[in-house]
Amino acid sequence: MTGRIFNNRYQITERIGIGGMAEVYQAQDNVLGRRVAVKVMLPQYASDAAFAQRFRQEAASAANLQSPYIVNVYDWGQDDGTYFIVMEYIRGTDLKTGIVQRGALNQRKVAEIGSQVCQALSVAHNQDIIHRDIKPQNIMVQPDGNVKVMDFGIARAKNSVNAKTSTVLGTAHYISPEQAQGKELTAASDIYSLGIVLFEAATGKLPFDGPDAISVAMKQVNEEPPLPSDFNPDIDPGLESIIVKAMQKNPADRFATANDMRLALNDFLAGRPVKLAGAAVPGGFTSAQTRVMSPIEGGAAGADSTMVMPQPVKPVTHSGQTNYHGANTPNMPENKGGKKTGLIVAIVAAIAVIAIAALVFSGIFASGDPVPDVKGKTLEEATTIIEKAGFEVGTTNAVHDDSVAAGSVVSQDPAAGTKKPAGTKINLNISQGTEQVTVPDLTNKTPDEAQQLCDKVGLTMKAGTPAYDDKVEKGKISSQDLKAGDKAAKGSVITYVLSLGSEKVAVPNVVGKSQSDAMAALKNAGFEVSVSEEASSDVKQGNVIRQSPTSDESLEKGSTVSITVSSGKKSSEVPNVVGKSEGSAQTTLDNAGFRVSTEYQSSDSVKQGNVISQTPDGGSSLEPGKTVHLVISTGPSSSGGSSNGGSGNGGSGSQSNGNN
């Protein structure tokens, strides 16, 4: 496959992945000069009409999804029986790799990733498209920290696929209970899968695991998941409550939409209370599980007081699934006597003991004072708040963070709300703002060479409109919008212009023009000019006889056009034929390109038949084709040198072999 070119444009360079029905290759877009990813259907499926339709449907659906957090689909088509999709090439690491390498991630990072994935899912769900395979392997974390959701490979538009053929299982560790059971899916299925992804990112552990996919899928259906805090005791209760709500077995108990989940995550990131209507908050109780009890006779409460007692939560199993509901005392008869009243009091007391034990276990009644929340505060403000609460500021570390203003607290340890003894040191991470990096010089580099430079400093690239450039080789970068050597925020985008080489321009026709006009026309068109002269009987002196290249050709700007300019009519040197015989003179002048006219005259000094004189004289210049006039001797005159003008008696006469 390497080296193959699809649609005379996308040249395959290397394979970067393989899935159940397609391979993914890195390729070069030879038109726009950028790196792309090309997804190619495996050969065994290319001839299957059903799979081909599914592949085309995927391309059409994905192409309509426009979001900064979704991998862009640029093009798709068929080439020699092979179906392919051209996608944005993503640089970075998939979230699964990050979790495997580092374990549990920073809680803010987990929430940021979740919020961005929610935005991507909102775009898809608004078009009735369910991803169906949300997992960390399909979430790419880019060098700038933002994510891209990829591989809508088993996504389906709800209104476009036959229900009998639309049941497709995702990865067992992340599928929803309804997906494992083959039920009709809604957007809530993607929310459940995202809940598991965030669980794993926040704890480094999967909530359900097993020896095979079937056993894991069965656990998704039948078992309640552990709490994230079972694996990560330091997890923020607000973030934990979001994850727990997303992972509810009953789709109706999850977030109504991905956008609702995003808003909850954003509340957590902003330090606002996370409000989950009807959601069971870990370690606490919902409003439905809290009731007001009447005063208890003989109890500690005064006669006018009421006690708010939380009810315990117990698992209730039905339809193969376990859900948690408030436990009410079943079929309790109306209190009509002291024994029954005593029984009620005993039950209530037991409930109170259990509730208080749970609260103690959860840390609410731990000794010490709660650590104040100073996230988002300046160091000066945080110091004042911490010291006022009876604690001390510990170590302060400078960190880069693009979501927190420089000089403000990004995170703290111990976490806000944790109860600690007075004098405990609170360690703070202080934002330095977005990290600044030096912009590399991309000019005269290929896109791949430039990308390597950008990857080193954490910048991203975007191709602008290619343009002609006389000074930069075709296929290399001629300019960039961020100036080389300047500072830019890490993650910034550099827009570059790829050179198309020198622009070719039609050569103007200058034949017959004056030399000055011809040179002006050629130079205005972007050419250099070389001039030579040549005599011409047909072209006026100073005008162009011919040019090279001719006007039906195109040249790159800066090329040289040669013109030949007339120096005037041609002339040749007239041979000297005085003293020669008439026949010899005639031959000499004919060979030199001249015509000849003659007249005859007696001469005492020139032998009869020889040339007495010529006009023009020998050695002078004359255009070829012109006439040279000869005077031929008839010998001495009979009258002793005088002539009577007659030709028959040796006098003078004339004739012509040519025309003047």
Contact assessment for residue 36 and residue 74, using Cβ atoms and an 8 Å cutoff: yes
**Known binding-site residue numbers for ATP:** 39
- Alpha-carbon distance of 388 to 393, in angstroms, equals 11
By three-state DSSP, how is residue 253 classified?
helix
The DSSP 8-state label assigned to residue 275 in this structure reads -
- Alpha-carbon distance of 356 to 349, in angstroms, equals 10
Instruction: Name the phi and psi angles at 364, rounded to 5.
Output: -65, -35
Burial 18-50 (b: 16+ CB within 10 A, else e): eeebbbbbbbbbeeebbbbbbbbbeeebbeeee
By three-state DSSP, how is residue 581 classified?
strand
CA angle 118, 240, 108 (to 5 degrees): 60
Name, in order, each residue with C-beta under 8 angstroms of 237's C-beta and a sequence gap of 6 or more.
229, 281, 282, 283, 284, 417
SS3 content of the chain, % helix, strand, coil (to 5): 30, 25, 45
The DSSP 8-state label assigned to residue 163 in this structure reads G
Contact assessment for residue 142 and residue 94, using Cβ atoms and an 8 Å cutoff: no
For helices 258-269 and 237-246, the axis angle rounded to 10 degrees is: 170
- Alpha-carbon distance of 394 to 427, in angstroms, equals 5
- Which residue shows structure tokens 């703002």? 433
Per-residue DSSP letters for 481-532?
A: SSPTT-EEETTPEEEEEEB--SPEEEPPP-TTSBHHHHHHHHHHTT-EEEEE
- Of all helices (H) and strands (E), which one includes residue 612? strand 611-615
Contact assessment for residue 496 and residue 510, using Cβ atoms and an 8 Å cutoff: no
112 is written with which tokens? 């940021």
The DSSP 8-state label assigned to residue 579 in this structure reads T
- Alpha-carbon distance of 37 to 58, in angstroms, equals 15
Peptide bond into 372 cis (omega under 30): no
- Which residue shows structure tokens 């979501």? 403
- Which residue shows structure tokens 């970067």? 16
- Alpha-carbon distance of 463 to 457, in angstroms, equals 18
How buried is 640 (Cβ within 10 angstroms: 0-12 exposed, 13-18 middle, 19+ buried)? Answer: exposed
273 is written with which tokens? 């209370």
**Known binding-site residue numbers:** 39
Work out whether strand 10-18 and strand 5-6 pair parallel, antiparallel, or are unpaired: antiparallel
- Which residue shows structure tokens 């391979």? 23
By three-state DSSP, how is residue 168 classified?
coil
Q: Is 448 a catalytic residue?
A: no
Active-site residue (options: 94, 133, 151, 401) = 133
Return the active site residues: 133
